[in-house]
Amino acid sequence: MKINNHWLETAQIIKSPNYDARTLEKNLSLIVIHCISLPEGQFNTPYIAQLFTNQLNSNSHASFTEICHLKVSSHILIHRTGHITQFVAFNKRAWHAGVSNYQGHTQCNDFSIGIELEGTDYLPYTEKQYSQLADLIQSLIATYPTLSMKHIVGHSDIAPARKTDPGAFFDWQHLHTLLKNQK
């Protein structure tokens, strides 16, 4: 995978309006892994892209009335098929972490890249997702030297009182094995 001018060359690009400038681009130091499915537990729907582009219709599903007004985004979404969609350039601040703290630093959006995996807290992720995630992480670290393998966390690690994703079914050991084997 190659990153060119802060965009992943192989990704489908759907630009989100939900981003802003980072305060200090050189402080980019954290990768945050999330999971999302809309509606919960349903895959291959158009609703995640609609949420990240402020086009989610509350009438499409009863659960959307609670979230359709949110202004949120992530840099990347890795679909269950392995397909990748990028919503925000890596040098910009996506709005994925919310109220968060990592090693005493608040406002994790300021210094992190958010990667969403299409999934839930209660189902295993696909091998294609792990493979794409490992490739992406390697590319990010090669492109942005302030990132490292030591600072990859789940959303639940930076917002434990609010979030549980990527959940107990996310296989951290498998991801770390893939990353070691790619070196």
Verify whether residue 116 is a known catalytic residue.
yes
Rounded-to-integer distance, Cα 158 and Cα 108, Å = 8
47 neighbors 64 (Cβ within 8 angstroms): yes
Per CATH, the architecture of 3-182 is what? 3-Layer(aba) Sandwich (3.40)
Summarised one tens digit per residue, pLDDT across range 47-92 is 999 999 999 999 999 999 999 999 999 999 999 999 999 999 999 9
Rounded-to-integer distance, Cα 144 and Cα 165, Å = 25
Rounded-to-integer distance, Cα 70 and Cα 56, Å = 9
- Concatenated DSSP letters of 3-42: EETTEETTSEE---S-EEE-S-GGG--EEEEEEE-SSTT-
Check 9, 25, 40, 116 and give the catalytic one: 116
pLDDT at res. 27 = 83
pTM above 0.85, yes or no: yes
Rounded-to-integer distance, Cα 47 and Cα 13, Å = 16
Domain boundaries, the chain: 3-182
Tell how far CA 152 is from the center of its chain: 11
DSSP 124: P
32 neighbors 97 (Cβ within 8 angstroms): yes
94 neighbors 18 (Cβ within 8 angstroms): yes
pLDDT at res. 25 = 60
pLDDT at res. 128 = 98
8 neighbors 76 (Cβ within 8 angstroms): yes
pLDDT at res. 183 = 62
Tens digit of pLDDT at every position of the chain (183 positions):
999 999 999 999 999 999 999 876 668 999 999 999 999 999 999 999 999 999 999 999 999 999 999 999 999 999 999 999 999 999 999 999 999 999 999 999 999 999 999 999 999 999 999 999 999 999 999 999 999 999 999 999 999 999 999 999 999 999 999 999 876
pLDDT at res. 26 = 61
